[in-house]
Amino acid sequence: MPLEIDLSGRVALVTGGSRGLGRADALTLARAGADVVLADIQVESDAGEEAGRYGVLAQAARAQGLVYTEATAREIQELGRRSAAIRCDVTDRDEVAAAVERTVSDFGSIDILVNNAGTLDHVAQLADQSPDLWERDLRVNLTGAFNCSQAVWPHMVRARWGRIVNMASVAGTLGGFGQASYSTTKAGLLGLTRTLALEGARHGITANAIVPGIIGTEAFGFGRAEMSERMIRRTALRRPGEPQDVANAIAFLCSDLAAYVTGIELNVSGGIELFTF
């Protein structure tokens, strides 16, 4: 009998769902049967006045029309699933609480949380790291995941079933030259993941972390060509991954096929962490 990832009847909340990994995650969960709510600081119908608060990548995405939060929700609805796009700043606990309550009210439950929202544009060696951007990265990448996890937790505890997936990075496991704030927050997510796994186990909640390597998202395209080529050469498979590669792993971790998998960091990295030469 073939194994199938079946998320029918489940409701997922995906943060940072406007593009890239979040968009791919949301669509893949929907194709597996889940209803999906996308939460993002950027929504097409919003004026976008706050994009500047979240760095040059957010500004560039808005300027180039690379915001697909509402479009992705419509695409999911065309698959026959329920979906909604919610503007939500994961650093704002009131907005997070409102997004979770709306999900539960409109969709009936919240079974899956994918903490994907993050910043990636603070690149400078230690002496030149901006204290303001350091604090911003902590708030978005690490505290944002904590805020969302804490908000969904009582609903999952009551249901005695839940899946939390945190989006870490090889920068968190290997370090990242010129990425002190980003690497620190992604390493912190691994500690948060293990703690959620320990505390959630008695309630039927699993928590796992995805550790992506070089993935060909829109953000990857904004990088310097020579740096991108260096990272690809360091990857054992000698190519960037696709957002779908990450989404496939997330769908598995959210399914009953992974019911006995919790507290892990799953590399979806093409072998960039291997001794490659």
* Residues whose CB falls within 8 Å of the CB of residue 38, separated by 6 or more in sequence, listed in order: 14, 17, 18, 22, 23, 26, 69, 72, 73, 83, 84, 85, 86
Hey, which residues does 162 pair with through a beta bridge? 205
Residue of 54, 68, 182, 260 marked catalytic: 182
Spatial contact of 29 and 7, defined as CB atoms under 8 Å apart: yes
86: Cβ contacts below 8 Å, ≥ 6 apart:
37, 38, 39, 40, 43, 99, 102, 103
Catalytic residue check, 68: no
Contacts of 195 by beta carbon, 8 Å cutoff, 6+ apart: none
Query: Residues with catalytic annotation?
Result: 182
